[in-house]
Structure 1
Amino acid sequence: MEDKEKNRSLAGNVAIGFFVLGMVCVCVAFGTPNWLVSDPRISGARLDRFGLWTHCFRSLGDPYDVYQRRFFVGCRWIYDPFTTGYDNLRGYLIPGFMVATQLFFTLCFISVLISTILILIYFLCCGPEQRRFIHLVRIISWLLFGGGLCGGIAVIVFVTTANRPGWMPGHDNNFFGWSFVLAAVGVVAILVSSILFFIDLHISERKKRALKESQAKFEMQAETKA
């Protein structure tokens, strides 16, 4: 493995570091419910915290119940099948912009998972001298770039729409939580990693061309001497 580390470019080694940072941030943000949180100092706040898949409320009245006889307290998975009436809130809790956020961040998450396997192969099993190395780096580069773009779209959609008036109660006292911050940091790290892998790809292709040219030159010189 030490030989492979020496043969890889600096850009490739740094790209792995950025990828590890991005992977941890994206995975934690994907599964934690602190994308939008309420100010804990507000005693009468109805929202506690809100994530992509889990929502926590202090006391959320059913917006479709005109008599306000049903309230939801505590944390629940958005597709909770056990709480009576919670499925009726799905359209309210997951409007179009949240569906877009879930979709694009899920695509980012999937690309990170696939890239993890490929980067392990890149780090442990594959070196620049191997025939498929350039193809592997190219796939990793584009996969991370696509995942980073999807994650960026998710973050932009959420930050521009999630805390607007008329959706979550008490929007003046809500703010973006640490899960959202991790999502943003993870997306930036993934994009930086993809750029560094593109640089590594360019370096590897240049080395391969230089090697072919030197081999061709050596063969011509050998034929001339013969």
Structure 2
Amino acid sequence: MGDYQEDKPKKRSLAGNVAIGLFVVAFVTITVAFCTPSWLVSDYRITGAKLDRFGLWVHCFRSLQNPYTKDGFFVGCRWLYDPFTTGYDKIRGYLMPDFIIVTQIFFTLCFISVLLGAIITLIYFLCFGPDQKQFLLLIKLNAFILLAGGISGAIAVIVFASLANQNRWMPGHENNFFGWSFALACIGVVLVLVTSTLFFVDLHVQKRKRRLLAESQSRFEMEPEHKGW
């Protein structure tokens, strides 16, 4: 009976515990990056800069001239789909070249994956244990969802980093640089991929513990027969 108690698995492995901690940080960084408009920013010391801040969904300009008609200026921060500012819908194509759309799509997929991961991680932390039948399936599902989210996020930040500050797009590109929202996105993507890896490690550890437990139970059940002989 003592062998059985010793082999009984703990609720989570070290990899699982570390994965939870890193996931909390990843969740915060991805969420903040998704919602804030400082992916591309202008040097605040440049007084004549057109751009102030540029995010996935909110754009802030100091004085952006209509790139098509040259007859108006856009000042201040606006949601990308702002229906109230006259003429803003006309420059949406300028504000959303193909690479921005790709970045939005893949980082949204990353954000959705992290939201799903948050639900599964809470269930893993609060409700499930190794003795429950679907415990391994829960860890496996979380690991694959976060892996998909991390890959999607990596595509988003690579595309944005490669093309967002190119010539012939946002005016004053020589004075623009990647902001703290983009930095958080990069950090969050790395943490999501690391968290996914740790959940895969946890899955391997829990499988091994379950196998050792089964072997221990088999030995325990066979002992009385040998003693009887």
Question: How do 1:116-131 and structure 2 match up within 5 A?
Answer: 116-131=118-133
* 2:17 corresponding residue in structure 1: 13
Which of 166, 170, 179 is equivalent to 1:168? 170
Q: Are residues 1:37 and 2:34 paired?
A: no
Contact preservation (8 Å) 2:10, 2:130: no
CA distance, structure 2, for counterparts of residue 173 and residue 114 of structure 1: 38
Q: Are residues 1:52 and 2:56 paired?
A: yes
CA distance, structure 2, for counterparts of residue 170 and residue 81 of structure 1: 27
Letter in 2 for 1:53: W
- Residues 120-129 or 193-202, more deviating: 120-129
Q: Are residues 1:104 and 2:103 paired?
A: no
User: What root-mean-square deviation, in Å, do the aligned CA atoms of Structure 1 and Structure 2 show?
Assistant: 1.4
Q: Could you state the TM-score of these two structures normalised by the residue count of structure 2?
A: 0.93
- Give % identity: 64
Residue 183 of structure 2 aligns to a residue in which SS?
Answer: helix
Q: Are residues 1:63 and 2:70 paired?
A: no
Q: Could you state the TM-score of these two structures normalised by the residue count of structure 1?
A: 0.94
* 1:115 corresponding residue in structure 2: 117
Report the CA distance between 1:84 and its aligned residue: 1.0
Report the CA distance between 1:219 and its aligned residue: 3.0
* 1:90 corresponding residue in structure 2: 92
Which of 186, 189, 211 is equivalent to 1:187? 189
Report the CA distance between 1:225 and its aligned residue: 4.5
Letter in 1 for 2:184: L
* 2:26 corresponding residue in structure 1: 22
Report the CA distance between 1:220 and its aligned residue: 3.6
Letter in 1 for 2:15: A
Report the CA distance between 1:224 and its aligned residue: 4.5
Report the CA distance between 1:128 and its aligned residue: 1.6
> 1:21-47 CA deviation, whole Å, 9 max, x = no partner?
000000000000000000000000000
CA distance, structure 2, for counterparts of residue 202 and residue 153 of structure 1: 28
Which of 155, 158, 161 is equivalent to 2:160? 158
Which of 193, 196, 199 is equivalent to 1:197? 199
Letter in 1 for 2:107: F
How many equivalent residue pairs? 220
> 1:124-143 CA deviation, whole Å, 9 max, x = no partner?
11112222111110011111
Q: Are residues 1:214 and 2:216 paired?
A: yes
Residue 186 of structure 2 aligns to a residue in which SS?
Answer: helix
CA distance, structure 2, for counterparts of residue 20 and residue 53 of structure 1: 24
> 1:48-74 CA deviation, whole Å, 9 max, x = no partner?
000000000011111110xx2111111
Query: Which structure 2 segments of 5+ residues have no match?
Result: 1-8
CA distance, structure 2, for counterparts of residue 224 and residue 95 of structure 1: 76
CA distance, structure 2, for counterparts of residue 112 and residue 186 of structure 1: 10
CA distance, structure 1, for counterparts of residue 224 and residue 164 of structure 2: 70
